């Protein structure tokens, strides 16, 4: 697989993972700690609070999915190098 194709696949996977985690977070908010966005309670109004909540959920989801993708890719590379050394 070429480098641009790998970058496109990784970007697509991160975007879809962020979308899935954000949707899960919105459908099951009781599973996530309220403290993550308790600072949003004092926002300027209902609309501003909802916008900030959306931003906080999507940004947090993006960070979580990006870290998970990094860990998976590093583990995959480590396993591949270990297998090559022992083969």
**Which string of DSSP letters, residue by residue, matches 3-23?**
HHHHHHHHHHHHHHHHHHHHH
Q: Average model confidence (pLDDT) for the chain?
A: 85
d(CA 37, CA 28): 15
Average pLDDT over residues 74-80: 92
Alpha carbon distance 67, 13 (integer Å): 13
Give the tens place of pLDDT for each residue, 6-43.
999 999 999 999 999 999 988 988 887 776 666 666 65
The mean pLDDT of 46-70, rounded to a whole number, is 86
pLDDT at 83: 84
Q: Into how many domains does the chain fold?
A: 1
For residue 8, the enclosing domain spans 3-86
User: Could you give the percent of the chain with pLDDT greater than 90?
Assistant: 49
Report the pLDDT value the prediction gives residue 21, as an integer from 0 to 100.
94
| b/e map 74-86, b = 16+ CB within 10 Å | eeeeeeeeeeeee
């Amino acid at each position: 697989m070429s480098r641009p194709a790998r970058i496109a696949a990784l970007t697509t996977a991160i975007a879809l993972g962020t979308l899935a985690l954000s949707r899960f977070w919105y459908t099951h908010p009781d599973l996530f700690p309220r403290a993550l966005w308790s600072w949003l309670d004092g926002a300027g109004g209902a609309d501003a609070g909802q916008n900030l909540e959306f931003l906080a959920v999507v940004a947090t989801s993006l960070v979580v999915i990006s870290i998970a993708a990094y860990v998976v890719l590093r583990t995959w590379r480590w396993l591949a190098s270990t297998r090559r050394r022992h083969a």
